[in-house]
Structure 1
Amino acid sequence: MIEELDVPKAHDSIEGVAEPSASDYLAGHSEIASFLAQAYREGRMHHALLFEGEQGIGKATLAFHLAGHMLANSDHVSAPETISAPDFSKPLWRQIAGGMHPAVLHINRPFDQKTGKFKTGIPVEEIRRVTHFLTRTASDGAWRIVIVDPADDMNRNAANALLKTLEEPPARAMFILISHSSGRLLPTIRSRCQSIQFKPLGDGPLTDALTHIGLSIGLGVGEITPSLLQRSEGSVRKALLLVAHGGLEISDTVDKILQGQTFDLPKAQALSGVLNGREAEVQYELFRDYLMGLIADEARRYADSGQTREADQWSRYWSELTREITNAETYNLDRKQAVMILLEKTHRAFRSGKPTLT
C-alpha cells in the first residue's frame, strides 16, 4: 500500500484499503497469474482479456499487476516466468498507482462534479477517451493498456463504442475488461475477448488476505470468524463491508424475519429504517445482495434435487424482484417502503415454499 502517493478513488473504494492499482498483495489465483505470465512470455497473449468472477476477489488487482509486468518487460521473450508483486519504490509502479502512467488508461465510473457523487455507470464519453489514448504513438513501441473496471457498468452507447475498437485493435494494444456479471455484457464484446474465469477465494487465501489488509483498517484476527468467511462467499470486499458496515447484523436480522412463523413487522420496520438513512448506501447494498442470494440459493437447491418446476419458480421470482429493485433504485422510490415490500413478499415465499409471481 502507498502512503505518500495520491491514488485516485473509485465509486467502490473502501476507506483504508488500497486501490487495486496501488495494492502489492494478491491472494489466490496463482494458476491464472502463471498462465498469463507464460502467455506473455511466449508471445501469444490475446489482445483483449475478460476477467470474470465475483466482485472483490482480486481481478482488478491482477489486471494492474499484469499491466506493470508487461510495461516493465517490453521484450516478452526475456520476461520473467512469474508476475512479481509491484515495487512502489520504482517510478513505473508509482505512476500506475497514481493513474499517471502514459501507457495505462483506467476506465471506471467518473465522478460528477455537479452532484458530488460518482455516476451510476460508464458513459460513452469515457470510452471515447480510449480512442484518443490509442491514437497516440506509444514511446519506444511500448504497450498501451486499457483497463475497464467494471465493463458491466458501460451503458449501451459506451459498449458499442468499445466494441468498434475491439474489432480493429491497434498494434501493441491490450484490453483488460473486469466483469462481475458478464451476462450484462454485449455477446459481441464477449466473443472478442479471451475469458479468464476467477473463482471465489477459499477460506485459506481469504483469511490470509483479511489478515494482511486488517493491519491497515484495524480488523483483528479474532474478528475473522467462520461465520464471516461463510457469508463473505470468497470475496475480500464483501468480508470488509460486512465487518465495517454491520453486514453480519443485517443478515442475521433478515434470517430472523424470514424464519419467523409470522411476519415480524416491528423488526422489519426497524431494519428498513436503518437502510433508509442518508449514509446507508453500503448497508442497503449488503441487504439487497444477501436477500437476493438467499433466493438464488433456493432456486439452486431445487435445481440440484431435480425439482425443475420449483427451481423455475424461484428463478423467475429472483428475476421479478431484480426488476422491482432496479426500478426502485432508478426512479428513487421510497426505499423504506421498498425494503418492507421485499421482506414481506420474501417471508411469504419462504413460509409457503412457493413464491407468488405477478
Structure 2
Amino acid sequence: METLQPYNHQNLYGHEKLEKNFVDLWLKNKIPHAIILSGQKGIGKSTLAYKISRFILDKSFKINEINHQVMFGEEDIYQNDLNIQKDSQIFKEVSMCINNNLYVIQEVFHDDEDNKKTEISIDDIRSLKSFFEKKSLNDSWRIAIIDSSDNLNKNASNALLKLLEEPPLNSLIILISHKPSTLLKTIKSRCVKYNLNSLKFENFIKVINKIKPSISKNEIDFLSILSSNSPGYCLEIIDQNGLEIYKKIINLFSKMPSLDLDEINKLNIIINNKKNNKTFYLFLNLVNEFIHRGVLNIYNIKNSNINYFKEEIELFNNIEINENNVIQIINCWTKLKDTIDKSQIFNLNNKSIIIEIFSEFSKCFNDY
C-alpha cells in the first residue's frame, strides 16, 4: 500500500496560511527557536514540520543577502509556500534521511518485545543535545523534529526543558503534539504554538485521491466521517482493515446485552492478523471513538462536527436510557479508557482486552 511519507513529499492542503507565515518569519529573520505543531492526528503536522525544515535548510544563507536581493530586485525569491526544488541537494538528503543538520526523534514499533511502542527517553534528549553541540555544516541551521512529543517521559521532558531554556544559535526544535495538554506547561511556555485546523472535505478528497485514486466514493464518504477528514488517519484505517473492524464493532454493540463470542473471535483474528500491534491500537481507538460518538448522540449533545453513519443512527435510536443509566455508562466508558491506557503501557494479552471491552459494556445494556 502507498502511504504518506512526510520526509519525501511536499503535498500539504488546507494549511496555506501557516506556510506563508513561516516564509514571512524567515524573511524577517524572526524564526523562533522552538515551536509546537498541534492538532488532530494525521492532519499534516509531520509534513509541515519537514517542509519547514527543508525550507530553512535550503534558504539558510545570510538573511541580509535575502533582503538585499528582494530590495534591489536581483532575484525573485519571495514565495507563498515552503516548497523547495525536488532536485535540490537538501530535498534529496532529507528524503533519504541523511541530512546532517536535521535530527529526528520519532515513535517506532519494534519487531521484538511484542511490538510495544517506545516512549521518548532521557537518552534520546541527551543525543539531541549532543547534536546541537556539534558545529553545523556550512554554518547552516540545525533543526530537530520530535514526533511526537506526547511520548516524552518525565525525565526526557525535564531534559528537553533545559535545552529549551538555553537554545543554540540558529537552531529550531519542532515539537509535534496530538495532545498538547500532556506537555509540561514550562515546555509550552518556551515554544510558539501553532494549531493545525481540521481539513475541509474538498482538501481531504484531494489528498486521498492522490494517494488512493482507486478508492470508491462511498468509501471516501465513510472514511471522511470516521477519520474526521484526517488523511494520515484515513490511510491508517485503510491499511489496518479499519473499515471492516468498525463495522464489526457496530454489529457487536447492536447485539447487546448478548455477547457474541464467535463474532468477537472473528474480530480478534482480523486485529491480530498482522505482525505488529498497529491494528490492535487502531481497534482501541475505534472503540473509544464509537463510544464517544454514541454518548454524544444518545444524550443529544450538540456537536456540529459529528456526522453519523446509517448503521450508527439505527443502533443509537434503538437504545433507550434514562438519567439513572448516565453514571453507569460514564463509569463503563472511563473503565474502557483505563483499559486502553494500561494495554499500551503493559504487555497485556490482546484477545483478553477485546473480550473485556465488549463484556464490560454489555453489562450497561442489561437494565434496558
1:131 aligns to what? Answer: 129
Shift of 1:293: 1.2
Q: 3, 26, 34: which is aligned to 1:40? A: 26
Rounded to whole Å, the distance in 2 between the matches of 1:211 and 1:105 is: 31
Over the matched positions of the two proteins, sequence identity in percent amounts to: 24
Output the TM-score relative to the length of structure 2. 0.81
- Is residue 2:68 matched to residue 1:53? no
Identify the structure with bigger relative contact order (alpha carbons < 8 Å, sequence gap 6+). 2
Q: Does 1:251 align with 2:246?
A: yes
* Alignment of 1:225 onto 2:220: yes
For 1:205, the equivalent position in structure 2 comes to: 203
* Cα distance change of structure 1 residues 245 and 115 upon mapping to structure 2, 3 Å threshold: closer
In the TM superposition, residue 331 of structure 1 has moved relative to its aligned partner by 2.8
CA drift at 1:54? 1.6
RMSD: 3.0
- Aligned CA distance change for structure 1 residues 292 and 352 (closer, same or farther; 3 Å): farther
Gaps of 5+ in 1: 1-14, 354-358
Deviation digits for residues 137-193 of structure 1 (CA, Å, limit 9, x no counterpart):
234442111111111122222121111101111111111101112222222211211
Residue 282 (str. 1) matches residue 310 (str. 2): no
**Distance change in 2, residues 1:102/1:227 (3 Å):** same
Deviations 1:43-86, CA, capped at 9 Å, x for gaps: 22221110001221111111111111112222445463422434
**Which SS does the other structure have where 1:93 is aligned?**
helix
Tell whether the 8 Å contact from 1:228 to 1:239 is kept in structure 2 after alignment. Answer: yes
1:162 aligns with 2:160: yes
Deviation per CA, 1:219-262, whole angstroms, max 9, x where unpaired?
43556531121112121122112223321111111112213353
Please say if residues 273 and 336 of structure 1, whose CA atoms lie closer than 8 Å, have aligned partners that are also in contact: no
Contact 1:24 1:87 in 2 (8 A): no
2: distance between equivalents of 1:144 and 1:63? 13
Instruction: State the Cα distance separating 1:282 from its structure 2 match.
Output: 2.9
For residue 225 of structure 1, give the secondary structure of its aligned residue in structure 2.
helix
Q: What is the deviation of 1:310?
A: 8.4
Q: Please say if residues 49 and 177 of structure 1, whose CA atoms lie closer than 8 Å, have aligned partners that are also in contact.
A: yes
Is residue 263–residue 344 contact of structure 1 (8 Å, CA) maintained in 2?
Answer: no
Query: Which of 177-186 and 136-145 deviates more?
Result: 136-145
Cα distance in 1 between the residues matched to 2:145 and 2:329: 36
Asked if 2 retains the 8 angstrom alpha-carbon contact of 1:54 and 1:200, the reply is yes
> 1:242 and 1:249 mapped to 2: Cα distance?
9
Task: Name the SS of the counterpart of 1:147 in structure 2.
Answer: strand
SS of the aligned residue for 1:100 comes to: coil
- Secondary structure at 2:86's aligned position in 1? coil
Gaps of 5+ in 2: 68-76, 304-321
2:51 to 39, 62, 65: 65
CA distance in structure 1 between the aligned counterparts of 2:111 and 2:83, rounded to whole angstroms: 35
The number of residues matched between the two structures is 336
Aligned equivalents of 1:127 and 1:166: distance in 2? 11
1:256-267 to structure 2, matched below 5 A, reads 256-265=251-260, 266-267=262-263
The structure that has the greater radius of gyration is 2
Q: Out of 106, 109, 117, which is 2:107 matched to?
A: 109
Provide the TM-score with structure 1 as the length reference.
0.83
Q: Match for 1:268 among 260, 264, 277?
A: 264
